Structure 1
Amino acid sequence: MKKSFFRLLSVSALFLLLLFHDTAFEGAKSGLILWGSVVVPTLLPFMICSNVIVSLNAIHILIFPVRQLLHRFFCLSDAGCYTFFSGLLCGYPIGAKTCSEFMDENRITQKEGKYLLAVCNHPSPMFLLGYAASALPKTVPVWILLLCIYLPVIPVSLAARICYRVKRPFRSLPVSKELVKSFDESLMDSCEVMVKIGGYIMLFSIVAFYIMKLGFLSPEYKAVLLGFVEITTGIQAVSHVFTGMGGGLWISAVTAFGGFSGVFQTKSVIKNAGLSIRHYVAWKAIHTLLTILLFILLTRLVVLLPSV
Structure 2
Amino acid sequence: MKKSFFPLLPIVILGLLLWQPGLAVSGARNGLILWANVILPTLLPFMLCSGAIVALGGVPLLVRPFFPVLSRLFSMSVSGCYVFLSGLLCGYPMGAKTCSEFLDSQMISPEEGRLLLAVSNHPSPMFLLGYAAAATLPSMTAPLLISVYLPVIPIALAGKYIYHVSLSSLKQPSALNKFSFDESLMNSVETMVKIGGYVMLFSIAAIFIQTLSPLSEKSSSFILGITEITTGIHAVSKSWPSETAGAVLAFITAFGGISGIFQTKSVLKNAGLSIRHYVLWKICHGTLSCGTFILLSQTEALASLLPL
CA RMSD for the aligned pairs?
A: 1.5
For the residue of structure 1 that corresponds to 2:179, the secondary structure is: coil
1:258 maps to what in 2? 256
2:142 maps to what in 1? 143
Aligned-partner residue type, residue 59 of structure 1: V
In the TM superposition, what whole-angstrom CA distance separates every residue of 1:29-61 from its partner, at most 9, and x where no partner exists?
000001001111111111111111111121111
1:206 maps to what in 2? 204
Shift of 1:148: 0.1
Q: Distance in 1 between matches of 2:151 and 2:256?
A: 14
Q: Distance in 1 between matches of 2:169 and 2:133?
A: 36
2:160 maps to what in 1? 161
Q: Distance in 1 between matches of 2:173 and 2:141?
A: 41
Q: Is the contact made by 1:136 and 1:251 (CA closer than 8 Å) also made in structure 2?
A: no
Shift of 1:271: 3.3
Q: Distance in 1 between matches of 2:265 and 2:173?
A: 27
More off after superposition, 125-134 vs 240-249: 240-249
Change (3 A) 1:216 1:55: same
More off after superposition, 258-267 vs 42-51: 42-51
Shift of 1:4: 5.1
In the TM superposition, what whole-angstrom CA distance separates every residue of 1:51-103 from its partner, at most 9, and x where no partner exists?
11111121111111111111111110111000000000100000000000001
Aligned-partner residue type, residue 46 of structure 2: F
2:117 maps to what in 1? 117
Shift of 1:7: 2.5
Identity %: 54
Unaligned runs of 5+ in 2: none
2:44 maps to what in 1? 44
Q: Is the contact made by 1:44 and 1:191 (CA closer than 8 Å) also made in structure 2?
A: yes
Query: What is the aligned counterpart of 2:222 among 221, 224, 231?
Result: 224
Q: Is the contact made by 2:76 and 2:167 (CA closer than 8 Å) also made in structure 1?
A: no
Q: Distance in 1 between matches of 2:41 and 2:208?
A: 27
2:56 maps to what in 1? 56
Q: Is the contact made by 2:54 and 2:175 (CA closer than 8 Å) also made in structure 1?
A: no
Q: Is the contact made by 2:109 and 2:171 (CA closer than 8 Å) also made in structure 1?
A: no
Q: Distance in 2 between matches of 1:297 and 1:72?
A: 28
Q: Distance in 1 between matches of 2:246 and 2:68?
A: 34
Q: Is the contact made by 2:79 and 2:173 (CA closer than 8 Å) also made in structure 1?
A: no
Instruction: Please state if 1:24 is matched with 2:7.
Output: no
Q: Is the contact made by 2:54 and 2:176 (CA closer than 8 Å) also made in structure 1?
A: no
Aligned-partner residue type, residue 124 of structure 1: S
Change (3 A) 1:31 1:3: farther
Q: Distance in 1 between matches of 2:2 and 2:265?
A: 17
For the residue of structure 2 that corresponds to 1:100, the secondary structure is: helix
Aligned-partner residue type, residue 277 of structure 1: I
Give the TM-score normalised by structure 2: 0.95
1:10 maps to what in 2? 10
Aligned-partner residue type, residue 73 of structure 1: L
Q: Is the contact made by 1:106 and 1:173 (CA closer than 8 Å) also made in structure 2?
A: no
* 1:47-86 correspondence runs (5 A): 47-86=47-86
Change (3 A) 1:170 1:213: same
Change (3 A) 1:130 1:96: same
Query: What is the aligned counterpart of 2:242 among 214, 227, 244?
Result: 244
Q: Distance in 2 between matches of 1:199 and 1:74?
A: 35
Shift of 1:24: 0.6
Shift of 1:215: 4.5
Q: Give the length in aligned residue pairs.
A: 306
Q: Distance in 1 between matches of 2:104 and 2:300?
A: 46
